[in-house]
């Protein structure tokens, strides 16, 4: 299995050009997320990839900092922000844990399609909780590949992923269930505010620091 940064650096150009597979689910997620944000908010997005979501959120907040383990992804995100003339979106190379640990106090922490790829996600949740102001939101959407609601797909994916990892064609993947994922957030101190599945494989969770 390849180092995460090396894996994502290699596929960054293709990733940047790839279409969103379920645009309706993506747009719904985006609108739900924006409903929790305010124009004065400082936002941290972990695993921002090439910055597409951060750049859509930027006009609705004071500042958003996007982080990703891949320097190639961050380079593309920075170029996109510059080309669009978006001044309040900044991008930095960092693991999710480093981003949460070193962040100044923020109003919201975001992580989309990320935490099933993070070894030690519980540590990230705990640090994210510390980085948030009281009343701040942790908003994520995570494929919960171990959940029964996914049906046959979870067995097929499990059978495929390990040979692909051995060949260096897949990163680390964790098989959360919905309950395991939400329990981990509660253990970190969060209250769950909203959950949903859009698309069905991905668990959208809004959690609040009280």
pLDDT digit string (tens) for 50-91? 999 999 999 999 999 999 999 999 999 999 999 999 999 999
Confidence check: pLDDT of 143 > 80: yes
Q: How confident is the model at residue 162 (pLDDT cuts 50, 70, 90)?
A: low
- SS3 assignment, position 137: strand
Peptide bond into 47 cis (omega under 30): no
User: Using an 8 Å Cβ cutoff, are 112 and 87 in contact?
Assistant: no
User: Which CATH number covers residue 51?
Assistant: 3.40.50.150
Q: In what order do the strands lie in the sheet with 191-197?
A: 89-93, 63-68, 42-46, 106-112, 132-143, 202-208, 191-197
Number of compact structural domains in the chain: 1
Query: Domain range spanning residue 147?
Result: 4-208
- pTM beyond 0.75, yes or no: yes
User: pLDDT value at position 151?
Assistant: 63
pLDDT over 70 percentage in the chain: 89
User: pLDDT value at position 157?
Assistant: 61
User: Using an 8 Å Cβ cutoff, are 137 and 163 in contact?
Assistant: no
User: pLDDT value at position 178?
Assistant: 94
């Amino acid at each position: 299995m390849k180092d995460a940064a090396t894996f994502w650096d290699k596929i960054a150009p293709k990733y940047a050009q790839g279409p969103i597979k379920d645009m309706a689910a993506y747009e719904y997620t985006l609108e739900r997320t924006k409903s929790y944000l305010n124009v004065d908010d400082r936002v941290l997005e972990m695993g921002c990839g090439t910055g597409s979501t951060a750049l859509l959120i930027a006009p609705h907040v004071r500042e958003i900092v996007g982080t990703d383990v891949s320097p190639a992804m961050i380079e593309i995100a920075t170029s996109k922000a510059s080309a669009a003339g978006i001044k309040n979106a900044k991008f930095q190379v960092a693991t999710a844990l480093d981003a949460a640990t070193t962040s100044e106090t923020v109003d919201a922490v975001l992580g989309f399609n990320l935490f099933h790829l993070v070894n030690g996600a519980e540590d990230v949740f705990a640090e994210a909780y510390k980085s948030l102001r009281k009343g701040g939101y942790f908003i994520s959407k995570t494929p919960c590949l171990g959940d029964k609601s996914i049906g046959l797909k979870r067995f097929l994916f499990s059978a495929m992923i390990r040979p692909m990892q051995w060949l260096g064609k897949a990163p680390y993947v964790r098989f959360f269930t919905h309950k395991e994922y939400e329990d981990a957030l509660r253990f970190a101190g969060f209250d769950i505010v909203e959950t949903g599945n859009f698309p069905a494989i991905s668990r959208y969770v809004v959690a609040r620091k009280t």
